[in-house]
Amino acid sequence: MRICFVSMEYPPFVAGGAGVYAGCLCQELAKLGHEVHVVTPRFGCKNWERLEKGVIVHRVPIINRRLLWVPCYWLNLRNYYVTLKKGLGGFDVVHGNVNSDLSLGNDVVTEPRVVTIHHLGRTTFEKMKPSLLELSSFGGELGLASWIEKNTVDFDSVVTRRADKVITVSDFCKQDIVTKYNLPHSKISVIQNGIYPNEYVCSKDDIEMARKRMRCNDDFLVLFVGRLERRKGLSLLLRAFQLVSKSERSKLIVVGSGKQALYRRLAASLNIENRVIFTGVIDSATLREMYGICDLFVSSSYLEGFGITLLEAMASEKPVVAMNVGGISEVVKDGVHGKLVSNMNCNELADAILYFAENRKSARRIGKQNRRYVIENFSWSRNAKLTEKLYESLAQAEC
């Protein structure tokens, strides 16, 4: 099949799970023999079109300014797509990642249409209840622009209603879409995210060297990976870690982009600034090392449709502690793969972390079990094959 995959995020420009999904799914679809064309913004790339891991990547020119690049991409996307489609003679399916293909109306997309929703922005607003300060920032997940959009047009509603099929990553997300947009269950397919487990293997020598480099010695290491934004719950984790550090010699490693200064100030006010390491954005090799050296991975997020970082940690033979929100319980079983915390309470989160600090043999046993679980149940090849079946069902319906 000739597939057009439209995504605002695509490697190397990845901000979160949607970008990881785009890169891995398209690569696997290409391995299955499909002709995959990705249409994505051009962030400083010299080449507008290149072959990457079997995928033909078309990068649409944009104005790379914080508040301009998204509308600029949507504006240029329409003409770019029409020209590309004409040159190739059409596609068998058009697949949008979240609302990336918003500007491609049904007047230009006549092929079967699929959209993937990782979680609903409207649900994020309902859960997080943004403050006036957050709304005043205008941009961002909880900014004024997003608030206006979700309370007027609601782009997620537009792209899900016009799609022939909707893919989502968990049963939680499926029910959320059905409830909020009154869509039939039959229109929505749950296809869970995957992982490449072999990318999360560290040798003992690499782990030892990384621990020395990070000056961690015999500390119990807790790892957080995610954007530094309120939804990810880093403030909650820092407060919980303050309680942990009083009982155990420990350190917290914080990996991710965002307003680092805000959380550094919080760590300082809690007198744990010497126990928290902020790495900022790191490359994949260094991230693998961070998973390798940690003793426990913690997801303190207030809302997750799935949580790819949980798979990454489990593939690295680590136990996990996570808030029992969204689709996380569909991935992590409480008491089996780690611990799920039901209340957004720093004391309960600290207790869950301390359990593994005080029971390190159990932590290692669960970690080894977690890797087997991930290998057996989550893979990008499986994700791609299920997506391929969905495409084929649409093609047959067209005949």
Span 153-185, pLDDT tens digits: 889 999 999 999 999 999 999 999 999 999 999
The pLDDT tens digits of the residues spanning 289-322 come to 999 999 999 999 999 999 899 999 999 999 999 9
Q: Which domains does the chain show, CATH number per domain?
A: 2-194+379-398 (3.40.50.2000), 198-377 (3.40.50.2000)
End-to-end CA distance of the chain: 15
Stretch 334-354: mean pLDDT, rounded?
A: 95
The pLDDT tens digits of the residues spanning 83-113 come to 999 999 999 999 999 999 999 999 999 999 9
| Residue 152 confidence class, pLDDT cut points 50, 70, 90 | confident
CB 352 within 8 A of CB 299: no
- The partner residues of 321 in beta bridges, in order of sequence, read 298, 339
Q: What is the pLDDT of residue 189?
A: 97
Rg (the chain; Cα; Å): 21
Place of tokens 């959380």: 263
- Please spell the DSSP secondary structure of 107-173, one letter per residue: TT--S-EEEEESS-HHHHHHHH---HHHHHT-SSTTSHHHHHHHHTT-HHHHHHHH-SEEEESSHHH
Does residue 150 have a pLDDT over 80? no
Helix (H, G, I), strand (E, B) or coil at 305: coil
Q: Could you tell me whether strands 338-341 and 320-323 are parallel, antiparallel, or unpaired per DSSP bridges?
A: parallel
Q: What is the pLDDT of residue 259?
A: 86
Helix (H, G, I), strand (E, B) or coil at 292: helix
Does residue 45 have a pLDDT over 80? no
Q: What is the pLDDT of residue 88?
A: 95
